[in-house]
Structure 1
Amino acid sequence: MPTTANETGESTRVNKTLIGSLRGVEVGSLFDSRRALHDAGAHRALQAGIVGRREFGAESIVLSGGYFDDEDHGSSIIYTGAGGRDPKTGRQIADQDFTGHNQALVTSCLNGLLVRVVRGAVHRSPHSPPFGYRYDGLFRVERYWRERGRDGFLICRFQLEAEVGESARADPRPGSELPGEDSTRRTQVTALRVVRDTALGRSIKRLHDYTCQACGIRLLCEGGPYAEAAHVKPLGSPHHGPDRTENILCLCPNHHVLFDNGGFTIEEDLSLRGLTGCLRLARGHSVAAEYLAYHRALWEHSTPGSLN
């Protein structure tokens, strides 16, 4: 399973994959070259912008100006995935997909794993270091999607948000071993997404009697029925979806996760692509076609369920 932080914040090495921050590499540490980054373990690749494996998640990323579509807002980053770039011109010449190193970032998103972020001086951003490379701490991959970039090709996009505080530590020495069975520790559980509980969301859930619009299941807990309000066009940057009833669905937790991560989309006729059946409706609630179209565009040319 992927490396996770234990209750003391320490990280663990799994199959030579190192997730979390590093002992001896503090936030703000400067490095004069990619070789120095590599030798310190902060980013263990001399060229690739993403270090990680599909099975275990991403260790680190570098913002080094290689992709024109990257957006650096300090504590929030919209990062462009790997692939499809002409190494001579830096222009995008082919579509990207969620495979290889991009899949590692998807795994980090789905499992709530933290990713080390390194910024390079070549990257055009006020947050870049004056020279070389700088380790800027741990970020969480909040969301991923695909869209057309400036060069007209589909690119994988990852929204990363800075983790507040940093206590995770890992031993980067090449000879580090996995902890034995007698050193098993309690792991820290981290939510993968924010489940927003707003008055509008509650009203939509009541209209549907807390029944999932995708599967028709109504979860009844000891304290009453449970469902989640899912925004079709995501809230916040870079999507800026509105908190309006026509942008909200009533979903069970499973289908909320699937919907947010491309497991299924909703066609114009309300049929479900990636699932059987159609979106269930309730009197007094309709979903705007423009928001459904926006959500479909995030997963354009993807096959729902292919990332699972």
Structure 2
Amino acid sequence: MQRSELNELMMFATIARERSFTRASRLLGISPSALSHAMRALETRLDVRLLARTTRSVAPTEAGAALLASVAPALAQIEDGLGALSSWRASASGTVRLTTFAYAAQMVLEPRLPAFLMANPGVRVEVEIENRMSDIVADGFDAGIRHVESVARDMIAVRVGPDLRTVVVGTPEYFSRHPPPQTPAELERHVCINYRGAADRPPLSWEFERDGREIKVRVSGPLVVNDVPLALAAVRAGAGLGYILEHDVADDLASGRLVQALDEWCAPYPGYHLYHSSRRQTPPALRALIEALRWRGNGNGNGQ
């Protein structure tokens, strides 16, 4: 078999697996037009149609599915063999494209990414900060960092942060005017600062749990923001109650600047996870980054 034929078979397998020329081209690092040309050449040489194309989708034909079933195990062995070579390298190299949002970048990447880059000079990391949830395969990312409940089930997820806890806080002056709520339902009688994760979505619900009972509350108030520091500034000024990560208000609570309410209703939940596709070999650079970011603490924020 010539090298060009092997390349074309690997291209075909990637297209059939991803059901998209665009996604396959991003994974393979070639243009969609070059990929389409290679597939036409393969089909012409084999004298059989392998892919059924429409304006919106692509899928293997019956002949294509039979070919894929035949060659996929061998191609997987080749990819595994190439991936195993990484253990012989002195250090990881390559580019890792990563998507996350601002708070996860602050919590996970700021403390550990600089040291990783200095220890791995052959690795280049591109980080895109965005509020929206990206499809890492379709958008050409190698991995993302999000809350684990946001990660699709077909992804591989690795814990990279401690448990988190969101708490309800207000100033002493606010609570002198408004008695603290005793249950989440009583928040309807309070002025609350709302947070919206994305412009096309409603403000986030405030979520609570006690004795296995989960409650989501839609609150109201004079301010809706998509910026945590701005929301916290309004809370600290006494403009209303906030639903803020405990880590961000630890000093305020310790000093008495802010007071917590509904403590028994605010349960911890799993922290941030790095996730990546399970459909292909993990590149050495991404594997090294995962090991550098992997959470090794006891889950309550003490250590890493």
Same fold (TM over 0.5): no
Q: More helix by proportion, 1 or 2? A: 2
Task: Tell me which structure has the larger Cα radius of gyration.
Answer: 2
Greater relative contact order, per chain length (Cα 8 Å cut-off, separation 6+): 2
TM-score bucket (shorter structure): under 0.3
